[in-house]
Amino acid sequence: MAKADETLTLGFLTAVDLPGGGHVGGLLMTDRLGRPLEFQCTTPVRPDRTQQILYGPTLVPYLLGEVIGGTLVKKAGVKPNLILCESAAMLSLRPHIDRAVARVEGDEKDAPPEGHNAGPSGGSALSVGCRTLHFHPSHGSDRDFVSSYRDRIPEHADLSEPFERVREALAETCKSVAA
């Protein structure tokens, strides 16, 4: 994990649902002011019926955290100090990487799809910018790590806004691939 005196790089990780099932994920790396440094996205990930049966309620956290999140973090050239996600299911990425991961408390993305396990519910909370962050319950040191960077993020920063940019970029990418 990076030391607190290094430049702060944030990663905004999210996924969008695809028509007919499956997900496509995106990771936007920014500086502390939200300016883009790099963007990565996955190809569509569509579990088949056998995978849905075998994985059961663990399928969504596995796909969003390990498969999509893990792939994006691994292929990113810019390694973020902190990865922010919107859903509790994406917190399942944390045990598989050596970077701090936090869920940005927000709106509808906090609720798991009906019938699915949301993954870890998040440990302690910390206010950063104008949002509250939640951490994986098995990685409490992430809260301390983020707390050491807290003063570098402007108080008025809305840490949920970059997720909308990622969703729009994913929509554009999906359109260009389909054309």
DSSP 8-state symbol, 143: H
Cβ pair 45, 63 in contact under 8 A: yes
CA 48 to chain centre: 24
In DSSP terms, 28 is beta-bridged to: 12, 39
Taking the C-alpha atoms of residue 42 and residue 21, their distance in angstroms, rounded to an integer, is 15
* Model pTM score: 0.87
CA distance 11 to 29: 4
**74-128 pLDDT tens trace:** 999 999 999 999 999 999 999 999 999 999 997 544 444 444 455 565 568 999 9
- Name all domains of the chain by residue range, CATH numbers in brackets: 10-108+124-178 (3.30.2170.10)
